[in-house]
Amino acid sequence: MELKVRKIGNSLGVILPKELLHALHVEGENAVLHVTETPDGFQISPYDPDFEQGMSAFRRIRSRYRDTLHELAK
């Protein structure tokens, strides 16, 4: 898929076709996309990689301290 860079106000931008937005599961005008640099180039995703790292840490802690967290929730 080829995308063209266009001038939008004082900035440059890329218009994403609706087929690509649908494939990325992007809904709504104010959706946020995250760009991550990979060894093969760049990856565009609606998912925040920093959030995923935080959730992974939470899952490890949750399983280790399950009983403690349960008591704290009371």
- 71 confidence band (pLDDT: 50, 70, 90): confident
| Global confidence as pTM | 0.57
Q: How far apart are CA 43 and CA 34, in angstroms?
A: 8
Q: How far apart are CA 16 and CA 29, in angstroms?
A: 12
How confident is the model at residue 39, as a pLDDT? 95
Structure tokens at 57: 């840490």
How confident is the model at residue 7, as a pLDDT? 96
Number of domains in the chain: 1
User: Which domain covers residue 29, as residue numbers?
Assistant: 5-72
Name the E strands within 1-74. 5-8, 11-14, 34-38, 41-45
Indicate the pairing of strand 41-45 with strand 5-8: unpaired
Mean predicted confidence (pLDDT) in 51-64: 83
